Amino acid sequence: MADRAHAVPDDPAGRIVVVLDLDGVTDKAGLMDRCARDLSLPEWFGRNWDALADCLSDPALWPEGAGERGLLVVVTGWRAYAEARPEEWQVAEEIFAEATDRGPGLFVTLGS
Give 19-67 pLDDT, tens digit per residue. 999 999 999 999 999 999 999 999 999 999 999 999 998 999 998 889 8
Return d(Cα 35, Cα 61) in angstroms, integer: 13
Return d(Cα 9, Cα 16) in angstroms, integer: 9
Measured over the CA atoms of residue 32, residue 38, residue 43 and residue 44, the dihedral's sign is: negative
What's this model's pTM, rounded to 2 decimal places?
Answer: 0.86
pLDDT, tens only, 54-79: 999 899 999 888 989 999 999 999 99
Return d(Cα 56, Cα 88) in angstroms, integer: 18
Q: Is 72 helix (H, G, I), strand (E, B) or coil?
A: strand
Q: What is the distance, to the nearest Å, from the Cα of residue 91 to the centroid of all Cα atoms in its chain?
A: 13
Q: Which amino acid is at 96?
A: F
Q: What is the distance, to the nearest Å, from the Cα of residue 100 to the centroid of all Cα atoms in its chain?
A: 10
The CB density around residue 83, as the number of other CB atoms within 10 Å, is 10
Q: Which amino acid is at 92?
A: A
